[in-house]
Structures are given as structure tokens and as C-alpha cells.
Amino acid sequence: MIDSHCHLDHEPMYSDLKNVLNRSKDSGVEKILSICTTNDSFNRIIEIIKIDPIIYGTYGIHPHETSNDVVTKEEIIKNASSNKRIIAIGESGLDFYYNHSDKEKQISSFKLHIEAAIDLNIPIIVHSRNAEKETFDILNDYKNYKPKILMHCFTGSTDFANKLLTLESYFSASGIITFKNSSVLQETFSLIPNDKLLIETDSPYLAPVPMRGKKNEPSYIKHTLEKLAKIKNISVDTIERITSQNFNILFNLK
């Protein structure tokens, strides 16, 4: 299993990394991608990726933070190129659910992240909440450059998914697909092609059933995998192989 999106630099995992990693390995996790959200986050990730070869990292500014961490495309490229274990740009994108940041600042930052990912030919990990039209329109503007897109913690509509598939996007399923009120999202994931699926925890957030109420961690990824297998009506072993293969293809890893 591969956890394609978590935040090892966030508590309570950051201060307990050794045990978190041991539990992850015991549960069958073979790779973990720890996602950057701020410049301070990146400084921690650079140290974290030295701890164990199963850990990889990214560089990017979360849409909530675009008023606090204003970066240029050159800075994004420099940081994303600073270590061979930094394998993607993000998370970046648009989040209009809260008023964390000016919309125009989010849009400007998102475009710079996309352009940096295109220049480096690495994936961009996209956060989109209450911004389906704007997210697709921006990504579609870069269609001719063939960006490598991963929609993280995808909770969008089937229509949004279908539009994103025209851009060859990948979609990551989080613990949300295990929630009782997620039947519409489950139906959307049932329609997404198998070769475009990944799984994630987004830990320490969004712990899957039956771990609801606990702080999430990569070892819990198995519950999301099991639910996705049911949604796709295939065996757990098969969906594990598929999602791991998709991760390795997208991020150009063995």
C-alpha cells in the first residue's frame, strides 16, 4: 500500500515519527508521500525525508496560506528541485469554503504552481473545495502542456471528475469514502477508471471508519483501500496492486 498524501510534519505524528513509521510498515505501507503546505512545513519535510527511505516529500503552498507565504515560480522550482526525494509540487489549488485567503491570491499562486510543475515535468497535487469550475478552468488552460494532475482527497461531483479525466487527471480516495454519508462520492469513484486511482490518508485528518474520532495516520490506509475494493467490486489485493502501480507511474518511481 502507498499513502499518497499525508502530513508527517503535523502533530501528533511529527513528535512520534518512529512509532508512526513502525505501525505503517507493520500494516503493509511501502511508500509515504508527506505533503508540504507552507515554507515552514517544507523545512520540516526536508528533515523528515532523511529518516526513512519509504518517505518522499513535496513542495507547495496550500491555498489557505497564500496570503502568508507568497512565492514566485522560481522559488517553487528551486525548492522542488532541491532534493531528489521531493517528487511533486503541492499541495496547491483553490479553497473557497473558508475566507482564509483572497481568491485572486489563491488563483495566482495556483497558476504559478502549475507552471512550475510543468517546467519540472512532475505532478501537481491539487486541493479543490467549493471551486470546481474555477479549478477545472485553470487546469484546462494548461491542457496543451499536459500537466500531471493528482486531485487529492477528491470529493467532487461526477461531472467534475469527468471533466478532469479529459486532462488525464488522477484521483486520490481518502477516508471520506468510508463515511456513511458518502454514497454519492462512492458512486463517483465507482465510475473513475482503475488506472486513475490512488489512495491517501490526509493524516492526521479524516480518519476512516472504523477509526473515526482518532487522529489519522498512514497505517490506517488499509481501511480506505478495503472500501475502495468494495466500491470497485474487485479484491483488496487487486486494488492494492493497481493503486500502487498508479502511484509509481505518476511519480516516476520503481
- In sequence order, the 6+-apart residues with CB closer than 8 A to the CB of 126 are 90, 91, 92, 93, 135, 139, 149, 150, 151, 152
Cell numbers given for 121? 515535468
pLDDT at 97 over 90: no
What's the total number of domains in the chain? 1
Q: Is the pLDDT of residue 99 over 70?
A: no
Question: How large a percentage of the chain has pLDDT more than 90?
Answer: 96
pTM of the entire structure? Answer: 0.96
Task: Report the pLDDT averaged over residues 51-64.
Answer: 97
Closest by CA position to 8, among listed 49, 40, 62: 49
With bands split at pLDDT 50, 70 and 90, how would you rate the model's confidence at 254?
A: confident
Q: Does residue 100 register a pLDDT over 80?
A: no
Nearest to 201 by CA among 220, 182, 186, 214: 220
Compute CA distances 235 → 223, 227, 232, 243, whole Å. 13, 10, 9, 12
Q: What is the pLDDT of residue 73?
A: 98
Neighbours of 204 (CB within 10 A): 19
Q: What is the pLDDT of residue 98?
A: 78
Q: Is the peptide bond before 210 cis (omega within 30 degrees of 0)?
A: yes
Whether omega for the bond prior to residue 91 falls within 30 degrees of 0, making it cis, is yes
Query: How does the average pLDDT of the chain come out, rounded?
Result: 97
Q: Which domain holds residue 135?
A: 2-250
**pLDDT tens, 207-234?**
999 999 999 999 999 999 999 999 999 9
CATH code at 153?
3.20.20.140
